[in-house]
A = this chain, B = another copy of it.
């Protein structure tokens, strides 16, 4: 940030009175420009024994597989954002969304949230940001071709939880996302 979005003057970085963090502040109109983490919401769409993955048509990680997910927009609920992203990326409709995984990614100031969801029908297709959309059985998951550890960890939890038929909601950090030895 270089200029004030309210008045167009150059901003400066300083700690405002009563605060304890550096902020972008406008010396002209005194607006404080706060910057906050962004939320990414997505679905783990399930069809019987299979789950739906999308192969990314865009960077980062073009060509790799992932779960449909994207930035939550103003005016949405978490579940609405997750369902919209599933529609946009996989042209798929989902129901019975159940909160499942929340990953803290403080190094990039993101909060990643996945819902388990039931696919409504098999009428899905690659959206504009996907090369391909496909159902996978557990043994078919392309573990080495997944785009993001958040999707991989969600799938890993899901298949483990499915054996127990218990799906605890998880709030995990980076440690859970690091590949094990």
Contacts and interface: CB of A to CB of B under 8 A. Distances in A.
B75 A104 contact: no
A38 B11 CA distance: 22
A67 interface: no
Nearest to A36: B38
A173 B78 CA distance: 9
A69 B1 CA distance: 27
Given A38-B36, A73-B36, A106-B75, A7 B2 contact: yes
Contacts of A181: none
Contact of A5 (B1, B75, B171): B1
A177 interface: no
Interface string A9-52: 11100000010010000000000011111110000000000000
Contact of A169 (B7, B71, B169): B169
A7 to B, nearest CB: 7
B104 A74 contact: no
Nearest to A174: B77
Contact of A173 (B5, B7, B35, B77): B77
A90 interface: no
B171 A79 contact: yes
Given A38-B36, A109-B74, A169-B99, A8 B2 contact: yes
14 contacts: A1-B6, A3-B7, A3-B8, A4-B5, A5-B33, A21-B73, A36-B72, A36-B73, A37-B73, A37-B74, A77-B104, A78-B171, A79-B104, A99-B171
Interface of A: 1-11, 18, 21, 33-39, 71-80, 99, 102, 104, 106-107, 109, 111, 128, 169, 171, 173
